[in-house]
């Protein structure tokens, strides 16, 4: 991601990043090399966890995370996700679909697949909010 200084029409350069105590939010600052104006982008704790878990490089630093959180998501993104368990697609209850709809639209497909795979693996024929909570804990996503 790059930022453009509107006054100078120059690409801003990475200056520094600051991670809040406990890994909550993160501030990433960019500076215009021409006029010195700066801009900061601030992430929330969920975004910070995603960045850390993927080992994303910001500026010249790699924000390495712990391997446990979101490991199934990282494996899926890396193309190393194991094949989905065999069996019919579980049925989603109305309350589970409502809970799924609360997630950002751009991740709903991936989240739905994770919960469906988990339910098939456990032999569940139906996905309820309780199954979703169980899956979150089992997949290391309980803090999200």
Please check whether residues 88 and 130 belong to one and the same domain.
yes
Look at residue 113 and tell me if it is in a domain.
yes
pLDDT recorded at residue 120: 92
pLDDT recorded at residue 59: 57
pLDDT recorded at residue 52: 64
pLDDT recorded at residue 47: 73
| Cβ pair 39, 29 in contact under 8 A | yes
Beta bridge partners of 62: 57
Range of the domain at 55: 13-65
Please check whether residues 100 and 128 belong to one and the same domain.
yes
Number of domains into which the chain is organized: 2
pLDDT recorded at residue 53: 64
pLDDT recorded at residue 32: 93
| Cβ pair 55, 63 in contact under 8 A | yes
pLDDT recorded at residue 66: 46
pTM: 0.43
3-state secondary structure at position 87: coil
Question: Rounded CA gap, 123 and 134, in Å?
Answer: 13
Tokens at 45, concatenated: 């704790």
The pLDDT averaged over each successive group of 10 residues in the chain (144 residues) is 86 82 75 91 74 60 51 61 68 94 87 90 93 87 62
CB atoms within 10 A of CB 132: 21
pLDDT recorded at residue 115: 92
Angle between the N-to-C axes of helices 94-101 and 105-122, in degrees from 0 to 180, rounded to the nearest 10: 140
| Cβ pair 49, 23 in contact under 8 A | yes
Question: Rounded CA gap, 87 and 138, in Å?
Answer: 20
| CATH number, domain containing residue 106 | 1.10.8.550
């Amino acid at each position: 991601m790059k930022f453009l200084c509107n006054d100078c029409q120059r690409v801003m350069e990475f200056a520094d990043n600051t991670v809040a105590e406990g890994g909550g939010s993160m501030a990433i600052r960019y500076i215009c090399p021409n006029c010195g104006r700066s801009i900061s982008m601030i992430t929330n704790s969920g975004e910070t966890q995603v960045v850390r878990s993927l080992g994303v490089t910001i500026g010249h630093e790699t924000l390495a995370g712990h391997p446990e959180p979101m490991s199934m998501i990282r494996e899926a993104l890396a193309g190393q996700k194991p094949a989905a368990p065999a069996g019919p697609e579980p049925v989603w209850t109305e309350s589970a679909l409502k809970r799924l709809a609360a997630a950002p639209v751009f991740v709903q497909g991936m989240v739905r697949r994770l919960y469906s795979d988990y339910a098939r693996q456990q032999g569940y024929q139906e996905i309820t909010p309780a199954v979703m909570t169980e899956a979150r804990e089992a997949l290391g996503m309980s803090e999200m």
